[in-house]
Amino acid sequence: MNIDFAEVEHQVPGLRFSALAVDLDDDTVVFAHHPDLVLSTASIGKIFLLHRLLTEVDRGERSLEDTVTRRPVEYIEDSGLWYLLQADTLSLYDVAALIGAVSDNAATNTLCRVIGLPVVQEHTRELGYRDSGLDDIVRWPRPAGAPPRLSHATATELVRFVRRTVLAEDLTPASADTLQRWLGAGMDLSMVASGFHLDPLAHYDYDRDVWLWNKTGTNSSVRADIGLVMSPTRRIAYAVVANWTRGADEREPAMDAMRRAGDVMRSRLAEG
């Protein structure tokens, strides 16, 4: 089983993919298509914000028990839950858990204010990510003069991020585990992860010998999904990003291709 991203792009002019999946235990490339192409990644860049938070925890500069109060300017609807909750003050742990589980926009903006967006951007560069990063806070509508996208990345660098998180290469093992747990609560399994047929509310454990954590990004011209899927014997780090021409709506062919990418990885896991 395979997925021909080039054929999908040929059939749908204006649709572009950056995709990569690597078996972490033998470094086999499961699939790859323009993995170094820089594309818009919507909410994917929030992973760098979470990583910076945990880096500061590892350095003893913050505690996840510290509390923060959201400001009215940080309130934003759509993605998230905090805008529906009565509590204005949460622990940093809970704010980060909301970002991991439901890509919470209000929580993202509050945490960006606490840590500082320039700090997150410099941290991302220091980690060696030259073509990926969080470009802005969440704004809607996006005003003139604001960065044109929330985040950008390549599949190569996103897979590197997943690998380094799994292996705790730049976080302590406890913090790397915490980051994976936050992302393991992610409720969006509509893209690549749909190929695994998992419970969208409970997949951070084996279900028919498949365990998943992931982060997605979505807007009117972007679909993106990165993460780790594993069986008892294999671990696959993946990133699939789809962009299409603004004003068009190519989500169906994009989502179909992403689902097939999940099927390919599911077959790989079944090889044992």
Q: How far apart are CA 197 and CA 195, in angstroms?
A: 6
CA-CA distance, 134 to 194, in Å (whole number)? 26
Query: Could you give the 3-state DSSP secondary structure of residue 265?
Result: helix
Q: Given a cut of 90, is residue 135 above it in pLDDT?
A: yes
Rounded CA-CA distance 30/21 in Å is 5
How many Cβ atoms are within 10 Å of 94's Cβ, its own excluded? Answer: 18
Q: How many domains does the chain have?
A: 1
- DSSP string spanning 135-171? -S---SSPPTTS-S-SEEE-HHHHHHHHHHHHTTSSS
The pTM for the full model equals: 0.97
Q: What is the mean pLDDT of residues 4-18?
A: 96
Q: Tell me if 81 sits within 8 A of 102, measured CB to CB.
A: yes
Amino acid at 10: H
SS3 assignment, position 241: strand
195-205 tens-digit pLDDT: 999 999 999 99
pLDDT in tens, 194-243: 999 999 999 999 999 999 999 999 999 999 999 999 999 999 999 999 99
Instruction: Note the pLDDT of residue 140.
Output: 83
Provide the token pair at 214: 């992931």
Rounded-to-integer distance, Cα 165 and Cα 147, Å: 28
CATH number at residue 11: 3.40.710.10
Burial class (CB in 10 A: 0-12, 13-18, 19+), 128: exposed
Choose among 48, 271, 258, 82: nearest CA to 161.
48
pLDDT band at residue 2 under the 50/70/90 scheme: confident
Mean pLDDT of the chain, nearest integer? 96
Q: What is the pLDDT of residue 178?
A: 98
Span 61-99, pLDDT tens digits? 999 999 999 999 998 888 999 999 999 999 999 999 999
Give residue 246's pLDDT.
86
Read off the pLDDT of residues 151-175 as tens digits, 9 standing for 90 and up. 999 999 999 999 999 999 999 999 9
Domain boundaries, position 176:
5-270
With a cut of 70, say whether residue 1 has pLDDT above it. no
